[in-house]
Copies of this chain bind each other. A is one copy, B any other.
Amino acid sequence: MSSNDHVDPARLFATRDLTEALAAPLSPEDQTVQSMPDVSPTKWHRAHTTWFFETFLLQPEVPRYRPVDDRYAYLFNSYYEALGDRHPRVARGMVSRPGAAEVGEYRAAVDASLEQLVGGGVPERLHDIVELGIQHEQQHQELLLMDAQHVLSGHPVAAPYAATTRPSTGDQPPELTWRFHEGGVHCVGHEGDAFGFDNEFPRHEALVTPFEIAERLVTCGEWQSFVDDGGYERPELWMSDGWAAVCSQGWAAPLYWIDRGAGPAVFGLSGDRPMVPDEPVSHVSWFEADAFARWAGARLPTEFEWELAAPAEPPPGASLDTAVLGPRAASGSADPQQWYGELWQWTESAYRPYPGFRPANGAIGEYNGKFMVNQQVLRGSSFGTPDGHARRSYRNFYPPSGRWMFSGVRLARDAVR
């Protein structure tokens, strides 16, 4: 993780404030529920990101710092083994205390200490850890949203997170076109001095075969065709483990496609909406993305194909906007689009360390490295990714069966000439 020019107090406290703003539409009860082991309650996210600053910044840097509550280290450590015992992840929904308001007090107390420590400016030697704290909290902002959607989806009655508007769209997405890339040996991984997570390093050469990549994401309408063509009923389209998931979980459509009797609809952060054919399909697992691609006569891109083809920077506005909590349809243009700010894009690549990867020393070294097996890489970013968090070399990762993240599909194929 490299240093960053923008490590200033304003950005730190804006990040802290955004978390509270994202939690605000959720009641204390909403903030308490854990709807499955992978999901964390909202108030846990709020407390955990606070514990992170307390543990990695305040405790080492503030002389005689007293934790706000000695018991929080046990409750709000996520997975850092080096920091001692912690409350089991699967039981986060069992803990009603501290409540949402007490967590707010915890946040305020830690913010006050942060203000004292770095409010006048972040000293150079703390740039890395403050930046990491910001980036970490941004990750949890997206997690907070996708976890909240899952919690609310479990209600027998429609339960929106917030009313949002989205630009109306027609039903015809632009025709799917392909962009050619000649491949070759190219540098991949994090470049430059800006912040990056350990898993984006070291920058290194990779050999890529010529390929073509889709100019836009797969749409709901295309996915409907897959469903209609027996996509969820034909084992030959699926990885063996994926087919087992289809059978045991009863998958027959993306996670949040529902039919409450009023036609095909999709449950989202703004509640139920009619399914819009030209919007990108979301909340599909890697298994589904992989099967869809096979059905379509294509495949998923590798993570390096994606990286070589993607724009160097997210375009302005391609990030979290609480007024638009869902992916937007592609424009009519065939220009490459939807790389950032709509949906994370599954890749063909297993999540493994780059050649020469070295985790950081100490507890922070557990940040990414220990998850590098049995996961697939996603690239890009989503409508839930906060401004300033996405970059071309960013490696997101989830198990191939995961469906509750803001995931979508961009196709690729071998270049034939």
Contacts and interface: CB of A to CB of B under 8 A. Distances in A.
Interface stretch (A109-117, A275-283, A336-344, A350-358): A350-358
A371 B81 contact: no
11 contacts: A27-B97, A29-B99, A97-B157, A209-B355, A236-B366, A239-B370, A239-B371, A240-B370, A241-B371, A243-B370, A350-B350
A348 B209 CA distance: 22
Interface string A205-216: 111010000000
Nearest to A87: B156
Given A97-B159, A207-B205, A207-B206, A81 B235 contact: yes
A376 B274 CA distance: 42
A33 B151 CA distance: 13
A154 interface: yes
Contacts of A97: 27, 29-30, 155, 157, 159
A71 B374 contact: no
Interface in A41-90: 43, 71, 74-75, 79, 81-82, 87
A214 to B, nearest CB: 18
Interface in A248-304: 286-287, 290
Given A71-B157, A350-B350, A99 B374 contact: no
Given A71-B156, A239-B372, 12 more contacts: A29-B31, A32-B32, A33-B93, A71-B157, A79-B240, A97-B157, A205-B207, A207-B207, A236-B366, A286-B373, A348-B352, A374-B374
Contact of A28 (B27, B35, B93, B350): B27
Contact of A94 (B33, B79, B238, B243): B33
A185 B372 CA distance: 25
Given A31-B29, A93-B33, A373 B376 contact: yes
A352 B97 CA distance: 41
Contacts of A206: 207
Residue of A240, A287, A414 most packed against chain B (CB within 10 A): A240
B414 A240 contact: no
A356 B209 contact: yes
Nearest to A159: B97
A400 interface: yes
Given A157-B71, A371-B239, A356 B95 contact: no
A91 interface: yes
A27 B241 CA distance: 34
A400 B373 contact: yes
A207 B27 CA distance: 53
Interface string A123-160: 00000000000000000000000000001101111010
